[in-house]
């Protein structure tokens, strides 16, 4: 499970941001995970809850936003959010697509005290 290593890196990033802003604790961690990122939100939540103990995030609320897959059709230049993992443009049926959102994971927001 690579979710554990992701949470470890996330906690390190939180610690670094807290030090830069002279914060003593983090109360909220908000992330965005793309459906194509390969990260399982439930496993990430479990890993965060397990490893946050005895860190600056010990009392933090963990919020995950799941990002749908957004594609750009190179044929008709339409941008569409896919409802299924069918990589075909719903406008022109082209398969000449570029994914423009839904592959990454981002730290969106931290609340600190």
74: three-class secondary structure by DSSP: coil
To the question of whether residue 2 is assigned a binding role by annotation, the answer is yes
Tell me: is residue 57 an annotated ligand-binding position. no
Which residues are documented as binding site for Ni(2+)? 2
Which residues are documented as binding site for Zn(2+)? 73, 76, 89, 92
Which residues are documented as binding site? 2, 73, 76, 89, 92
């Amino acid at each position: 499970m690579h979710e554990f290593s992701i949470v470890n890196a996330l906690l390190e990033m939180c610690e670094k941001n807290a030090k830069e802003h002279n914060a003593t604790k983090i109360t909220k961690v908000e992330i965005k995970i793309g459906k194509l990122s390969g990260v399982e939100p439930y496993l990430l939540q479990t890993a965060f809850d397990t490893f946050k103990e005895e860190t600056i995030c010990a009392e933090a609320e963990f919020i995950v936003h799941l990002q749908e897959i957004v594609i750009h059709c190179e044929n008709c230049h339409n941008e569409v959010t896919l409802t299924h993992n069918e990589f075909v443009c719903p406008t022109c049926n082209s398969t000449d697509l570029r994914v423009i959102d839904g592959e990454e994971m981002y730290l969106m927001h931290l609340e600190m005290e």
